[in-house]
Amino acid sequence: MITIDNIKLEESWQYALSDEFQQPYFSKIIQFLHQEEQAGNKIFPSPSLIFNAFNSTPFKKVKVVILGQDPYHNIGQACGLSFSVPDGFPAPPSLKNIFKELNTDIGMNIPTTGNLQKWANQGILLLNAGLTVRAHQANSHKNIGWHKFTDAAIVKLSDQRKGIVFLLWGGFAKKKSSLIDHTKHHVLMTGHPSPLSANRGYWFGNKHFSKTNELLAKQNLTPIDWHL
């Protein structure tokens, strides 16, 4: 299990979030995870992937943020990137609807993989508000302090960077809008891609993917290649 001393974080994120690791709340997160382990509870993702979003997308290279709520809680699915699953796992329902919108928005063929690592490598921070979860219990770690940590990451991006496109999908993500300086960044909001929301007309047709690339192009930044 992780300890404060053995956390391996990409250098620019380590610098940006160094103050957070010294806060009492972060020590309580580590303590809680140790207690879970001692109680025999499985935690997802594996320790090496808890900070995968940060390690995959350095602070200075973030162009887009896609905010999720919670890691997948079934065996093998969680990989530390919001909405993403490893190769070999079928796309969960929300990810299927993301792919459907990509198909209608930019004409992208529905991928055969749900692994979004390619997006992360291009500057998309695939950040879950909570970084761990107990096996088979959704949102079981929502109150242990992770939200304070990931809120701090959003604030650091807002304060120290400029022109990032934040994609906030669903009521939970939309609440994070208050953490972002809208005069410096672009904030696109719509319904959640989950079937419950999408089937009520709150997701499809948002065109967030083409809009994101238009906003990046206006800043002379390389658009995202959404194809997987």
Residues annotated as catalytic (active site), given as ranges: 70
What is the helix (H) or strand (E) element at residue 212, kind and residue range? helix 208-218
Query: How would you label 76-107 residue by residue, b for 16+ Cβ within 10 Å and e otherwise?
Result: ebbbbbbbbbbeebebbebbebbbbbbeebee
Q: E strands, 91-143, where?
A: 124-128, 133-134
Cβ contacts of residue 193 below 8 Å, gap of 6+? 83, 94, 95, 97, 98, 101, 169, 170, 203
